[in-house]
Structure 1
């Protein structure tokens, strides 16, 4: 049975963020770049407020909704920083629509309260895991941009104002490598410090199995890249498979537990 219950402290800023994201996307063709940028900045701040409202309370909650919300916020943050460093990186407003949906999901499905049995390292473990999600999600976005640029080049469409293919490829794999390092650290923390993290001994579960499968997929991708120079569509496909497995590891398992089973 699917049950949803909005978390009141996060609902108003999340709705405000979603509306501001929508305004930013609608204004992307405005004659002046300032209105969409201001709307996007407001959305980013309200989104951060919604995330903080769910965590900085006497009964902090976390689940698949907040996980997706924080991931989307991190992706926008990284992309925004890149956009200012690399002027030829084009803004892609569909990201604003995805962030709006993620902000609303985080408010409507706030997750279960964090258990008192969780150890003091749970915050560190969650931070590592969500940072890992954000880096791999950013890598997936760059992989999509890479495939899009490749198709445009093959179709003979001019790309003078866009980031070169090799630059997009380097960024994609740099984010993948950074995410792999954090994923490794997250798995090690859970495996060897499970009692301090979860308040109980570490054991295999759906989350651990999918996380291990994702780790093996990313390890294989990076090894093939290093030893055989794997690139292009095949590399992006493997990246997407690993990201999907990682998504199932936490967000997927929590969705089933919180929404479908109502636990």
Structure 2
């Protein structure tokens, strides 16, 4: 079952890549769009089944680079699938589908060469997976925000670049930004909830910095999403809130580690 799910996901992602390429090169894109979405849907489902076997093995839980890349590309592919029912994101699917296939292939190849962690509980494993996924998606959202800022400047100065002509319209790219933020916020919420449930003392001295900053980042992302839904925030306003929230989140992940392992021991 595991091998079947792995190779089915890879084959479906490659088929999705081929159809996306043909769709971009033809005038009749609307005719191939249902086939493209059907293939991507099947690929995402097969990838999800595969991830169950990749992340949780008989020897424990996997947190190695290839397993996490597979999880991240699946999350992005799932988000693109949802958004593709409303927007035409063929070029982005063409970019993500082969990456998802490669990450799945790498995860399968590394299966025998990694040492799963056997001494952690399923609750702590879920907390770690949610945290890594949230940080990764919100990192992608930050890169998307930076791209949107650059694109806004290009359009403002009436100098659109070649790459901007190949990508979907600005409004669609903004929808992708808010989709990444919303999905990342959902995973960040799950990370905080599982941390509260399964970590012994979330506000212990060695965790209080990370916990407090993560909650602050969660609040900033919530304000951004509320402002977009209620007041139509977009453009540079959305970019500023996204960058500010991510800066706090980055401090939570790396700043507390730096303080505990470098600054405080010297003091």
Distance 1:247 1:57 in 2: 27
Give structure 2 stretches of 5+ with no counterpart.
228-232, 256-267
**Measured at CA, do residues 14 and 234 of structure 1 come closer, stay the same or move farther in structure 2, by a change above 3 Å?**
same
RMSD: 4.9
1:143-174 Cα offsets, whole Å, 9 max, x none, are 36634652563336699x95554x75476356
Is 1:150 paired with 2:152?
yes
Cα deviation code 1:207-254 (max 9, x no counterpart) = x9778766655656766997xx872554454466567678879xxxxx
How far apart are the structure 2 equivalents of 1:238 and 1:56?
35
Unaligned runs of 5+ in 1: 1-6, 250-263
SS of residue in 2 equivalent to 1:112: coil
- Post-superposition Cα deviations, 1:57-79, rounded to whole Å, max 9, x if no partner, equal 53354213222212211211122
In 2 relative to 1, CA 223–122 (structure 1 residues): closer, same or farther, beyond 3 Å? Answer: same
Structure-2 separation of matches of 1:120 and 1:29: 43
Matches within 5 A, 1:1-263: 12-13=7-8, 15-16=10-11, 19-20=14-15, 22-31=17-26, 32-33=28-29, 34=32, 36-37=36-37, 39-41=39-41, 43-55=43-55, 57-63=57-63, 64-84=65-85, 86-87=86-87, 91-92=91-92, 93-110=94-111, 111-115=114-118, 117-122=119-124, 124-126=126-128, 128-129=130-131, 132-133=134-135, 135-136=137-138, 139-140=141-142, 142-143=144-145, 146-147=148-149, 149-151=151-153, 153-154=155-156, 155=158, 162=168, 165=171, 169=174, 172-173=177-178, 175-176=180-181, 179-180=184-185, 182-187=187-192, 189-190=194-195, 193-195=198-200, 204=206, 219=219, 231=237, 233-238=239-244
* Cross-structure match for 1:254: none
Number of residue pairs the alignment of both structures matches: 232
TM-score by length of 2: 0.57
Alpha-carbon distance in 2 for matches of 1:209, 1:104: 37
> Once the 2 structures are TM-superposed, how far is the Cα of residue 179 of structure 1 from its aligned partner?
3.2
TM-score by length of 1: 0.58
**Cα distance in structure 1, aligned partners of 2:249 and 2:17:** 26
Give the number of the structure whose residues are more often helix, by fraction.
Answer: 2
Q: Which has the higher contact order (CA 8 A, sep 6+)?
A: 1
